[in-house]
Structure 1
Amino acid sequence: MPKSGIVPPLRLCFFMWLVFTIEFYTRIDFGYLGIYPREISGLIGVAMAPLLHGNFNHLASNTIPLLVLGGSLYFFYPRIAPRVFLHAYFFTNILVWIFGRPFYHIGASGLIYALASFLVFFGLFKRNFKSVIISAFMIFLYGGLAYGLFSFDDRISWESHLMGAVVGLASAFTFSKSNRINY
């Protein structure tokens, strides 16, 4: 793995844990900085939501997949990884702001769904050996994420999951069709 491959997802995880630690010790809930759909004040959440988590379990359950999926993206596709990561981070959250239910959406699960979706669909669209193997491995590891698209728990932002999956799919399609990019 290139030395810098794990750095961007690791850096994001560091900031997620830092924000959670600050919330814990100051007893201030930063949830109001999440995405609140179709409200101008909720736009701050487009940048902040992935850094915010409701509790320790929420944070922990987002950390490992973010490191695995983000690390895989940067390891296997280093030239396009920064653009894919930014698409996954911002476009997912913008779509949640446009289409989400009116409550505060927080957490990195939309980003996780976008990364997983990209890694699965890129191989299916690109159809080269390396990408297909990566797709199959991601389906094996994270195929269960598909159940999260249909959450019946009102406290879970299925919109983030769905929008992340859509952004990952669209990014995979777009980048797989570009012949100018060396992955």
Structure 2
Amino acid sequence: MSLTTAPTRPRRTWPAALGISLGFVALLWVLELVDALPGVQWDDDGIRPRTGDGLVGVLLAPLLHGGFDHLASNSLLAALLLFLVLLGGIGRGLAATAVVWLLGGLGTWLVSPAGTVHLGASGLVFGWLVYLVLRGFVARRVGQMVLGVVLLVVYGGLLWGVLPGQPGISWQGHLFGALAGAVAAYVVARPGADTSRG
């Protein structure tokens, strides 16, 4: 096994990564503001396990939140982790996000109890965190390994959220988001993966 250092990224990567991550969180706030308007009720459009309509929720759930407190609890960490994911390459970061979004949502749809609705960006947050922790070890890049270890030390306690416990919290969404993050690290960051899009 050989270790390499990450190639220097073009200067334009960090402004694009920052713009996309802040834009994503701003979109979440706009959607929640609209959802708070009289007559608007999007919270039922999340993941409803093993129903046809619930599959649409796989696409919508990370964009919807159960109120401003729920959104606020996800916003800062979502912006930070998405920025760090995209900083490793916009194309790779978007590919990793797509894997986490879809696989995490499908896993939640498959195993969660019937009659429940799952929504919120926390599945993405768990997926991005696990992706960042594992990415450097999969890619064999020292700088990314160091970042992964730092993130694990600072935010690793969040990963207890994959276990059942707190009522009203979708541990299934957390668990399958985290597992999807591991899959994304292997698929996107492994040596030989297509990195032609950055």
Query: Same fold, TM exceeding 0.5?
Result: yes
When normalised by structure 1's length, the TM-score is 0.91
Q: How does 1:1-183 map to 2 (within 5 A)?
A: 2-26=14-38, 28-102=40-114, 103-182=116-195
Q: Report the alpha carbon displacement of residue 112 of structure 1 after superposing the two structures with TM.
A: 0.6
Q: Report the alpha carbon displacement of residue 162 of structure 1 after superposing the two structures with TM.
A: 0.3
Separation of aligned partners in 2, 1:180 and 1:33: 35
Q: Report the alpha carbon displacement of residue 27 of structure 1 after superposing the two structures with TM.
A: 5.6
For the pair shown, the structure with the greater C-alpha radius of gyration is 2
Separation of aligned partners in 2, 1:11 and 1:128: 29
Runs of 4+ residues over 6 Å off in structure 1:
none
Aligned residues with identical type, % of pairs? 26
Count of paired positions: 183
- AA aligned to 2:64 is L
Q: Report the alpha carbon displacement of residue 24 of structure 1 after superposing the two structures with TM.
A: 1.8
Separation of aligned partners in 1, 2:164 and 2:65: 18
- AA aligned to 1:170 is V
Q: Report the alpha carbon displacement of residue 181 of structure 1 after superposing the two structures with TM.
A: 4.1
When normalised by structure 2's length, the TM-score is 0.85
- AA aligned to 2:153 is F
- AA aligned to 2:93 is A
Instruction: Confirm or deny: 8 A CA contact 2:58 2:102 kept in the other structure.
Output: yes
State the secondary structure of the residue aligned to 1:3.
Answer: helix
The CA RMSD over aligned residues, in Å, is 1.7
Q: Which runs of 5+ in 1 are unaligned?
A: none
- AA aligned to 1:175 is V
Provide, for residues 94-133 of structure 1, a one-character-per-residue CA deviation record: whole Å limited to 9, x for no partner. Answer: 2211222220001001011110010001122233211111
State which drifts further: 114-123 or 47-56: 47-56
Separation of aligned partners in 2, 1:5 and 1:96: 28
Q: Which runs of 5+ in 2 are unaligned?
A: 1-12
State the secondary structure of the residue aligned to 1:147.
Answer: helix
Separation of aligned partners in 2, 1:9 and 1:90: 18
